[in-house]
Amino acid sequence: MTKVQVRELVFEKFINSAEIDAAVQRVADGINRDYTGKNPLLLAILNGAFIFASDLMRKITIPCEISFVKYASYSGTLTTSKVRELIGVEENLEGRYIIVVEDIVDTGITMDKLLQEIREKNPRDVKVACFCFKPLAFKKSFPIDYLGLSIPNDFIVGYGLDYDGHGRNLPEIYKIAKS
């Protein structure tokens, strides 16, 4: 099994490039099917979702737009349960179809806060497109409308996901190696 070191931690390969591509295609297929003629606004959450959002945009075949927000709730390998807005929603969302694009939903605390803020701006519809979902860590009740992969509650890096800012550039996804 392929291993990599990110900072002081060792990770082992968990999800390969072909599985990533298939998951992104599944999400894109759902969006293409459900949003024909609707010109949705994809609202991608930085920093982690930028690679997923980029790949997703290339697979979406309908007219759409993209914008970015930045929220943070992690320190190291743990969630702080406190959400900080670093870059907020700038667009007029009233009457728009919104698809929030996220790399990973674990506790759901960050996404829940963002969804509340979006709904206050009176969009026509709000959906969530998530690359990785950790159902065992999930503490909220909103639906994941477009899901790439459900995964165990392991800490992962690669494909935009990081450990203290490192490892985002790995083309595949790695989980902390068992000692």
Q: Please confirm, yes or no, whether 154 is among the known catalytic residues.
A: no
**Average pLDDT, integer, range 152-179:** 94
Chain segment 146-165, per-residue pLDDT in tens: 999 999 999 999 999 999 99
CB atoms within 10 A of CB 162: 18
The full set of domains in the chain, from first to last, is: 3-70+93-176 (3.40.50.2020)
**Cα–Cα distance measured from residue 159 to residue 117, given in angstroms and rounded to the nearest whole number:** 27
What is the predicted pLDDT for the residue at 66? 96
Q: How far apart are CA 69 and CA 45, in angstroms?
A: 5
Q: Which of 55, 103, 106, 162 is catalytic?
A: 106
Residue 25, SS3?
helix
Task: Using alpha carbons, list the distances in angstroms from residue 29 to 26, 98, 147.
Answer: 5, 16, 11
Instruction: Give the pLDDT of residue 82.
Output: 66
What pLDDT is stored for residue 86 in this prediction?
57
Least trusted range by pLDDT, from 5-19, 105-119, 129-143: 105-119
Provide the mean pLDDT of the chain.
92
